[in-house]
Amino acid sequence: MEALTKKQQAILDYMRQHVAELSYWPSIRDIQAKFRFASTNAVFGHLQALERKGVLQRIPGAARAYKIAPEVSADLSETVIRYEGPSEDQIVNFEEVKFAGAIAAGLPDYTESSGVLSTMQVPIAEGSRRRSPQSFALRVRGDSMIDADINDGDTVIIEPGQPKHGDIVAALIDNETTLKRLIKQGGKVFLKAENKNYPDLIPVNELVIQGLAKTVMRRI
């Protein structure tokens, strides 16, 4: 893999940041403005180089259309212990998940560039459909779901989707997000905390949902 020059790396980083924040790619002129080039051709040349080096794929003729390669870096440190990487059958396929940040009342403030903080990539579970690009990550506080093995300090990945009976959802209660299991019973909808010490079922008429909890991450 041919190494990137400083400017090429900077442009690549800018493109990553742009698509992570705004959700669409920058045009050549956007990049030109960012780096104060006097000519679009300066950017054009760099993009060609990035493509030649295999870290970027352009779609010829299409505007603001790229596919980007994952980051690759070099150095390894020497240690007392010998390390080996994972073998091929241990590979998990990953996909990207958007990670939303500052939110105004109501819908996430997609008009502000601060609306999306960064992106993360999470594993694709076998047989599961692709994750929506609107997924995001939340830190869990409290013990309302300990019986479902979701504990304080865990991180859950929230995805949009049609909530079904039994799903664990991120719901707004008293303007605060809580993780609850959704229960449909006799045509009515309840939220249930998976903790024996908490009241059984919370009836809800208007449900404000951030999404469905599909993945839990725990720090050992």
The answer to whether residue 27 forms part of the interface with DNA (CB under 7 A) is yes
The continuous run of DSSP H or E covering 143 comes out as none
Beta bridge partners of 181: 168, 192
Q: How far, in Å, CA of 116 to CA of 18, rounded?
A: 10
For residue 93 the two structure tokens come to 């396929």
Using the contact rule CB under 7 A, the part of the chain among 3-11, 14-22, 69-77, 174-182 near DNA is 3-11
- Which residue's CB is nearer to DNA, number 29 or number 165? 29
Q: Using CB under 7 A, count the residues that bind DNA.
A: 25
Decide which of DNA, a second copy, none touches 39; Cβ closer than 5 to 8 Å per partner kind: DNA
Contact assessment for residue 67 and residue 96, using Cβ atoms and an 8 Å cutoff: no
For residue 182 the two structure tokens come to 């959704």
Minimum distance from residue 25 beta carbon to DNA (Å): 7
Catalytic site residue from 98, 135, 144, 192 = 144
The answer to whether residue 18 forms part of the interface with DNA (CB under 7 A) is no
Backbone angles phi, psi at 119, to 5 degrees: -120, 155
> Sign of torsion, CA 198 202 206 207?
positive
Catalytic site residue from 113, 180, 196, 214 = 180
Whether residue 144 lies in the annotated active site: yes
Whether residue 180 lies in the annotated active site: yes
Q: How far, in Å, CA of 176 to CA of 76, rounded?
A: 44
Q: Is 123 helix (H, G, I), strand (E, B) or coil?
A: strand
Q: Using the rule CB under 7 A, which residue among 40, 57, 113, 114 binds DNA?
A: 40
The answer to whether residue 58 forms part of the interface with DNA (CB under 7 A) is yes
> Sign of torsion, CA 35 37 40 43?
negative
Decide which of DNA, a second copy, none touches 29; Cβ closer than 5 to 8 Å per partner kind: DNA
Q: Using the rule CB under 7 A, which residue among 5, 121, 151, 185 binds DNA?
A: 5
- Please report, as ranges, the residues that interact with DNA according to CB under 7 A: 5, 7-8, 27-30, 37-42, 44-47, 49, 58, 60-65
* Catalytic residue set: 144, 180
